[in-house]
Structure 1
Amino acid sequence: MGNSESSSTNPRFASASRAFSLNELEDLRSLFTSLAAQSQTDGKYVTLPVFKAYIGIDGPLGDRMFDLMTQKRKDQKLTFEDLVIAKGTYEKGTNDDIEEFVYQLLDINGDGIVGRSGLEAVLTAMLGNLFHQEYSKSKGDSRDEIVDIFINAATFTKDGAESNMSFEDFRKWCSLLPSVRKFLGSLMIPSDPGSQIPQLLHQDNIHPSLILLRKEYAWHIGGALPQHELDEWKLLYHSSVHGQSFNTFLGNIQNDEGRTVLLIKDKEGYVYGGYASQPWDRHADFYGDMKSFLFQLFPKASIFRPTGANHNLQWCAVNFSSESIPNGIGFGGKVNHFGLFLSANFDQGHTFVCTTFGSPCLSKTHQIYPEVIECWGVVPHKVEKDRPEVIKGTVLERFKEDRHMLNMVGLANSSE
């Protein structure tokens, strides 16, 4: 195989090879042979165009990936040794190794600066790959807006004349955007990009322009969920269609033990919400488990997972007469000071800095006035889909989850 056999003189190649089984090394040899044949180089190396076609990424991000894979030699030749060394780091390395590799990907120009323009190029390539459309920075384009909401979650520090995202800034950004980290960490593991995006199902009488949950938002939220929860999400409640009613909301989402994604757009234009891993059932205290989380969608995108500070995950109080038990639904914090709360009349609520999720105030102000409220049911991959029923008050099909897929552990109530 030409270059694929000359491995003994490179200690990095020898070290990387030990990370793979014999079968895995043979698979890598087969991959290299195929790509080198497509490159028409007599089996010696893989060219840039063939490599970019293989990973499905064109433009600056594909160029930078090739540059790192070829150990920055600038000779436009990806050898078998390069492939093994890079994949040994990128797939078999420690989490620190992988994150360092991904961080270098963001340095599109290779000048040691991870700036806003570099992130724009990376995100434009990512979103174009995921959603099969051209993402551009044209003025007024809603796709331009999507690129910006992900960058708005980033922190940059001044490095001379330019703003630079440090490695620690990058790690914080990745914790807020797990979908971005997941994508950039799997470029050399070709798969169907659509598998990272749930199919969004809704009634035909709801115009798409009314729906808050864009595909890009669903991809962002899904970055914090296991693969089997990224199959289908069904719209169970939308305030513009079903009315801004707590009772209708609860009636529509009675889907046994289904997980749900709640979204709110308030009168300030901010969009945010929470993922509820447990059903919205009547309780007089906090309940839930550590799979729930809060998120922001606009004007910036972030996910806030439980910190472990307390177990005040979900709140659902219905028809309580005590002032110490506010009727409504919420996430995190403490009574009357939630991370996110909607009162039972669904016309107001609040959001505060929350230790439960390490989240900030999700809107412009603490007091929120919802303009749109919608809730989606998460349908795990092995859901029973052959027993359609009618949900009370709607024409949506009722679905029942396979209980073996839940595997949820309840946590005792705790105060903040």
Structure 2
Amino acid sequence: MLSNTPVCLCFFFFFFLFVFLQMVLMEESRDKPTLIIDRDPEGLSNILESSHILEASHVRELCKELPPRTVGHTWQLAYSTSRHGASLKSLYRKLSATDSPVLIVIKDALDEVFGAFLSHALRPSETFYGTGETFLFMLHPRFKCFRWTGENSFFIKGDLDCFAVGGGSGHFGLWVDENLYLGRSSPCYTFNNCCLSETDDFRVMELEVWTFG
């Protein structure tokens, strides 16, 4: 019986230590705010009413990836091909007065949804511009985000006949023509992304550009 005494003492010691730690953790948890999981972004219903592409699940996924400076700002539909026509020049004009970052969402002929978050508004430019906040994403049929790798700084490029996001070795992560109708997506060094669309070349059925007011 005496030989079992140390075993019993060890058992009771660890048991009381376990109970003590549980009480401490419970006490600490009372002082911490409860986390709200999957909370809908403010104005979600207005976003869904305005968009011909986005669904609630898309918006929630994107909100998890957007930089902190967009939090608390209202999503505003600055341009859509169904409302404003299909013209890159018109898109530039619509964004000329904004200093907000922008979200470009594209739905192609195969009903796939993808796009880019731009740290700065889209505009004609002689060289690439923007910051590492810029990223590419896929929304449907699956969600995936492609962030800056640090390999280069080819974030955003606006020409009169096209715009591009991400680049390297002659390949663009996302490229769309002046009519906002023909596009191309390729793996690029900037984001180490896969092709955002099912095929390298795609046709734009709807394109929306959102700002954060």
TM-score normalised over the length of structure 2:
0.80
Q: How many residues align?
A: 197
Which residue number in structure 2 is paired with residue 359 of structure 1?
A: 193
**3-state SS of paired residue (1:223):** helix
Residues 38 and 60 in structure 2, CA contact (< 8 A), matched pair in contact too: no
| Aligned with 1:271 (options 109, 113, 126) | 113
Please state whether the residue corresponding to 1:250 is helix, strand or coil: helix
Deviation at 1:236, TM superposition (A): 0.7
Residue segments in structure 1 that go unaligned for 5+ positions in a row: 1-7, 15-78, 88-187, 319-326, 380-416
Residue 340 of structure 1 is matched in structure 2 by 174
Using the TM superposition, give the Cα deviation of residue 244 of structure 1 relative to its aligned residue in structure 2, in angstroms.
1.2
- Select 1:197's aligned residue among 21, 31, 41: 41
Task: Give ranges in structure 2 of 5+ residues lacking alignment.
Answer: 1-14
| Cα separation, 2, equivalents of 1:298 and 1:202 | 21
Cα distance, 1:351–1:12 mapped onto 2, change above 3 Å: farther
Letter in 2 for 1:268: L
* Distance in structure 1 (CA, Å) of the matches to 2:179 and 2:155: 21
Q: Give 1:298 shift.
A: 0.3
Aligned to 1:257: 99
Select which of 73, 81, 85 maps to 1:243: 85
Which structure dedicates a bigger proportion of its chain to strand? 2
Residues 139-178 of structure 1: pairs in structure 2 closer than 5 A = none
**Cross-structure match for 1:301:** 143
- CA deviations over 1:119-149 (Å, ceiling 9, x no partner): xxxxxxxxxxxxxxxxxxxxxxxxxxxxxxx
Q: Which residue in 1 is equivalent to 2:208?
A: 374
Map Cα deviations across residues 353-377 of structure 1 (whole Å, 9 max, x no partner): 1221121000110001100000100
Within the alignment, does 1:317 sit opposite 2:151 as a pair? Answer: no
Corresponding residue number in structure 1 for 2:163? 329
Assess if the C-alpha contact under 8 Å between 1:304 and 1:358 holds in 2: yes
Structure 2 partner of 1:219? 60
- Give 2:11's aligned residue: none
Aligned match of 1:229: 70
Quote how far apart the aligned CAs of 1:189 are. Answer: 4.3
Aligned-pair CA distance for 1:212 = 1.1
CA contact 2:184–2:200 (8 Å) conserved in 1: yes
Q: Percent identity?
A: 25
Contact conserved, 2:166 with 2:174, CA < 8 A, in 1? Answer: yes
Q: Which structure has the highest helix share of the two? A: 1
Aligned to 2:58, what secondary structure does the other structure show? helix
Paired with 1:214 and 1:315, the residues of 2 have a C-alpha distance of: 28
Corresponding position of 1:282: 124
For 1:271, give the aligned amino acid.
V
**Greater RCO between the two (CA within 8 Å, min separation 6)?**
2
Deviates more, 1:340-349 or 1:192-201: 192-201
Cα distance, 1:208 vs structure 2? 3.3
Structure 2 contact 109–204 (Cα < 8 Å) conserved: yes
Q: Distance in 1 between matches of 2:136 and 2:19?
A: 43
What CA distance in whole angstroms lies between the structure 2 residues aligned with 1:365 and 1:295? 16
Taking structure 1 as the reference length, what is the TM-score of the superposition?
0.43
